Amino acid sequence: MSRFCLFIYLLLFCGVLYKGLVVESLGVNWGTMATHKLPPKVVVQMLTDNGIKKVKLFDADQSTMSALAGTGVEVMVAIPNDQLSAMGSYDRAKEWVKRNITRYNFNGGVTIKYVAVGNEPFLTSYNNSFVNTTFPALQNIQNALNEAGVGDSIKATVPLNADVYGSPENNPVPSAGRFRTDISDQMSQIVKFLNQNKAPFTVNIYPFLSLYANENFPVDYAFFDGVSNPIVDNGISYSNVFDANFDTLVSALKALGYGDMTIIVGEVGWPTDGDKNANINYALRFYRGLLPRLAGNKGTPLRPGYIEVYLFGLIDEDAKSIAPGNFERHWGIFRYDGQPKFPMDLSGQQSDKYLVGAQNVNYLPTKWCMLRPDANDLSKLADNINYACTFSDCTALGFGSSCNGLDANGNASYAFNMYFQVQNQRDLTCNFQGLAMVTDKNISQGNCNFTIQIATSSSSRLAQVSLAFLTAITLLLL
Ligand SMILES: *[C@@H]1O[C@H](CO)[C@@H](O)[C@H](O)[C@H]1NC(C)=O
Ligand SMILES: *[C@@H]1O[C@H](CO)[C@@H](O)[C@H](O)[C@H]1NC(C)=O
Ligand SMILES: *[C@@H]1O[C@H](CO)[C@@H](O)[C@H](O)[C@H]1NC(C)=O
Ligand SMILES: *[C@@H]1O[C@H](CO)[C@@H](O)[C@H](O)[C@H]1NC(C)=O
Ligand SMILES: *[C@@H]1O[C@H](CO)[C@@H](O)[C@H](O)[C@H]1NC(C)=O
Ligand SMILES: *[C@@H]1O[C@H](CO)[C@@H](O)[C@H](O)[C@H]1NC(C)=O
């Protein structure tokens, strides 16, 4: 065989081997702020069906952990911000580790790799609420892990938002990166402690937010397919904000004397609704740039090579806070019902296939709630829409979103239906002072989906309980 043939042969052979594999460094965030959650077992099946081997959680929920047991999926469990102050007690931290970590440490248990201590606790919008409690919690958790004998394989880390560092306005280049001055003491303590314990630094980087926050941000710079005028820093040319942001962190760590510290990207992704820049085309473009880079272990100019990266997120979360923006409920690579939104190749080979969706999903009956065509007293309409949207997700109605083109009647029907579905289509939840009615006709319009919620075991249990309660009341009255 000539050398050229051998080369072709290897190329084809490796191509075959590679197909269907997931980039080794890739994980996903599994958030659960949804009114209707898919059963944990179904979600874990989605992970395994798609070959995803790393997952990052936002708590240590028992049903989630049980579903992950025995799968070999590597897990980052988390301590929410509101428990950080309690973890200031070493006894409490030991108890947490015992109940939520070592308990799963057996053959056929959960492969825990990291404990996330807090979630973006130094976000400026939190007004310093967690500045004094994060480091003591980190120390106590890692020390408790060490004392329990699992500290070599399980590391505590603090997922931080990229707003903990930056470059000065008069020198906005990655090499000038430093940690925020208001938290510089906390950051040096944390970084020193992580280094002592060989634990990674975890950062969440969002090119979408750079675009969202700044009208003048060059759109192409948020993606990975090149720009006409890259930022040049000490001879290094930066053509995307992800690399520039990551290297700003590398420089900030270097300034503290820890330029080689391992960095994990705890969250990165692109939302598909809720803003003019949040749509399926942009999400496709973003992931088509990101995934091949990860597959090729490209890294960044200051950190070439392997970087562990967790996509945000797995499934849409219709009950997530929208304080940062309406897009917050649309980060999923899967819709609320576990179905893929767009083609995506987790092996980074850019083949246009859809991921495997959730299996055996049960939906509520095929019924929608809509504004009555004959409604005439519209004076109460605004209040009723407002009520419906307060208790359900109307973020798709906003400017630049998938349902923004509806007329006033369409808006009302959309809001009524979202509320009706959140309420599991219960009787009387499609009334709105006589303005609404149930229909079995699909009232979706164009790009705007009027969805049917999924049936969850808890929703049917709730329905049963309320039914039992009503029956009891009726009996009492009789
Ligand atoms: C274990 O984690 C769960 C879920 O995050 C939390 O509610 C619980 O308090 C933790 N257990 C202990 C003993 O700290
Ligand atoms: C932070 O402070 C601002 C202004 O004082 C306030 O509007 C906001 O609710 C506070 N946020 C939190 C999380 O406490
Ligand atoms: C954090 O601790 C510092 C120093 O003890 C104190 O000055 C500051 O008020 C504390 N901040 C908060 C938000 O508790
Ligand atoms: C529908 O609702 C959205 C969001 O509240 C609003 O921006 C839009 O103007 C409404 N459309 C009409 C025709 O009322
Ligand atoms: C309703 O119609 C929309 C758009 O035509 C479609 O995407 C959706 O699947 C339909 N829903 C149901 C429950 O049939
Ligand atoms: C609406 O649902 C259909 C599948 O039923 C999907 O193909 C389409 O992308 C959805 N549109 C939006 C804006 O979510």
For ligand 4, atom 7: residue with the closest CA:
398
Q: CA 424, 425, 428, 434: dihedral to nearest 10 degrees? A: 130
Identity of the amino acid at 352? D
Q: What is the pLDDT of residue 20?
A: 54
Encoded tokens for 317: 């979360």
**Ligand 4 atom nearest to 398, measured from its CA:** 4
Q: How far is the CA of 291 from the centre of ligand 6 (A)?
A: 23
Report CA-CA distances (Å) from 414 to 325, 371, 392, 401.
Answer: 20, 9, 11, 13
For the chain, list residues with pLDDT below 50. 1-19, 460-478
Residue 268: closest CA among 253, 289, 252: 289
**Ligand 3 atom nearest to 127, measured from its CA:** 13
Ligand 5 binding pocket includes 449 (Cβ within 6 Å) = yes
Encoded tokens for 427: 């009787």
The ligand minimizing its distance to the Cα of 98 is 1
What lies within 8 Å, CB to CB, of 443 at 6+ separation is 368, 370, 413, 417, 450
**Ligand 1 atom nearest to 59, measured from its CA:** 5
CA distance 410 to 447: 13
Encoded tokens for 327: 């897009």
Encoded tokens for 59: 């708590």
Q: What is the pLDDT of residue 1?
A: 41
Pocket of ligand 4 (CB under 6 A): 397-398, 406-408, 411
CATH topology of domain 19-330: TIM Barrel (3.20.20)
Q: Which residues are catalytic?
A: 120, 267
Q: What is the pLDDT of residue 461?
A: 46
Q: What is the pLDDT of residue 259?
A: 97
Domain boundaries, the chain: 19-330, 368-459
**Ligand 6 atom nearest to 447, measured from its CA:** 13
CA distance 384 to 114: 46
CA distance 248 to 250: 5
Burial class for 450, CB neighbours closer than 10 Å (0-12, 13-18, 19+):
buried
For ligand 5, atom 5: residue with the closest CA:
444
Report yes or no: 157 and 151 within 8 Å, Cβ to Cβ. Answer: no
Upper half-sphere CA count for residue 436 (Cβ side, 13 Å): 29
Q: How far is the CA of 181 from the centre of ligand 3 (A)?
A: 15
Ligand 3 binding pocket includes 85 (Cβ within 6 Å) = no
Q: What is the pLDDT of residue 376?
A: 87
Q: How far is the CA of 192 from the centre of ligand 3 (A)?
A: 21
The ligand minimizing its distance to the Cα of 400 is 4
The ligand minimizing its distance to the Cα of 62 is 1
Encoded tokens for 185: 């003491």
Q: How far is the CA of 25 from the centre of ligand 6 (A)?
A: 30
Query: Residues of the chain with pLDDT > 90: what percent?
Result: 89
Q: How far is the CA of 337 from the centre of ligand 4 (A)?
A: 26
